[in-house]
Structure 1
């Protein structure tokens, strides 16, 4: 990559981060494209060149988060390959991702409803794939099916994706917060899944 291309890429990432911070601070619906462009240091026309609408920008931010969530499952697979349980590794990966991308979690939780029906449907499929992969990883022999399986995946995903933000906002030391999250989740999840396996 040339120096100019690297600079353009870093400028774009910096502008995306600024846009995300503005959305998180004010709320997606309260930010106009003109305000967004001024906040990230672009003209409105230049911003439209990158994103046809602010919905497209929000969609990209949330989709990127969902792809990162899918990648957290790799940590569980690596733990299994080393002969260790997957769930503690998955919990730690979610904790770290939340520390790195807290604003994106906030946007995904609060502003998903601002996307078009088509965008929401596409993200719902990505989220379902993540939840199914999560269950397959931590409870490969579950006897749950149908609505119970779907509800379990949704609940497990919600706990993993919301608990870090709540705990990280309580003034706990990093390692203390992670240990508390593991303590809260491991017992309850493992017991629930143990009762639902063959």
Structure 2
């Protein structure tokens, strides 16, 4: 029988996948390196040899969620609708992983470590939709700031929402407003379908 410290196949990817499963069940705040090691069937030292701290682990988990949220745009798809769907896919992943939204929105993971492929695809989609390169950069920044704020507020339950709309539908409305308010000079564009 293999000892826990010598478990073959232990990798950062396996550690992150297992951590995300635990976060989905119990939340990021309740995750511990000891609990993670037990779930993996390895010693605590084996886990620390791959990931130096819980903060480092949560950063890796945040990056993994960004990567998992990315879907390539389809040819012929409305580029602004694709941007909205990308943001909402990330939102849905974060809702499914309690505690990650506030950690990501308040950390350098959100500000500086978004998947570059995702950033460039959003930028290209905005330009395809008629934004100038400069405007696409500004819209990208506004979407980033809005999304960070929405993620920070995502811990509020819909019961606390006095507008009668779900938090998700309010975020979609905000994204549509941003995408259309800055779209090629047409501030009065109708919402996306």
TM range (shorter): 0.5 to 0.7
Match of 2:189 in 1: none
Match of 1:135 in 2: 123
Partner SS state of residue 131, structure 2: coil
Q: Which runs of 5+ in 1 are unaligned?
A: 114-119
Give the deviation of 1:166 after TM superposition. Answer: 1.8
Pairing 1:2-81 to 2, within 5 Å after superposition: 12=15, 13-15=17-19, 17-18=21-22, 24-25=28-29, 36-40=32-36, 41=38, 43-54=43-54, 56-69=56-69, 71-72=70-71, 74=72, 77-78=73-74, 80-81=76-77
Partner SS state of residue 166, structure 2: helix
Alignment of 1:97 with 2:93, yes or no, is: yes
Alignment of 1:194 with 2:190, yes or no, is: no
Q: Which runs of 5+ in 2 are unaligned?
A: 1-6, 187-193
Partner SS state of residue 195, structure 1: coil
TM-score using structure 1 length: 0.58
Match of 2:143 in 1: 156
Partner SS state of residue 184, structure 2: helix
- Contact kept? 2:33, 2:44, Cα under 8 Å: yes
Partner SS state of residue 193, structure 1: coil
**Larger relative helix fraction:** 1
Partner SS state of residue 194, structure 1: coil
Judging changes above 3 Å, is the alpha-carbon distance between structure 1 residues 168 and 93 closer, same or farther for their aligned structure 2 residues? Answer: same
Structure 1 range deviating more: 55-64 or 82-91: 82-91
Q: Distance in 2 between matches of 1:54 and 1:158?
A: 26
Give the deviation of 1:108 after TM superposition. Answer: 2.1
Q: Distance in 2 between matches of 1:19 and 1:177?
A: 21
What RMSD, in angstroms, separates the aligned Cα atoms of the two structures? 4.3
Q: Distance in 1 between matches of 2:84 and 2:52?
A: 41
- Contact kept? 1:95, 1:164, Cα under 8 Å: yes
Judging changes above 3 Å, is the alpha-carbon distance between structure 1 residues 166 and 94 closer, same or farther for their aligned structure 2 residues? Answer: same
Judging changes above 3 Å, is the alpha-carbon distance between structure 1 residues 20 and 50 closer, same or farther for their aligned structure 2 residues? Answer: farther
Q: Distance in 2 between matches of 1:82 and 1:185?
A: 15
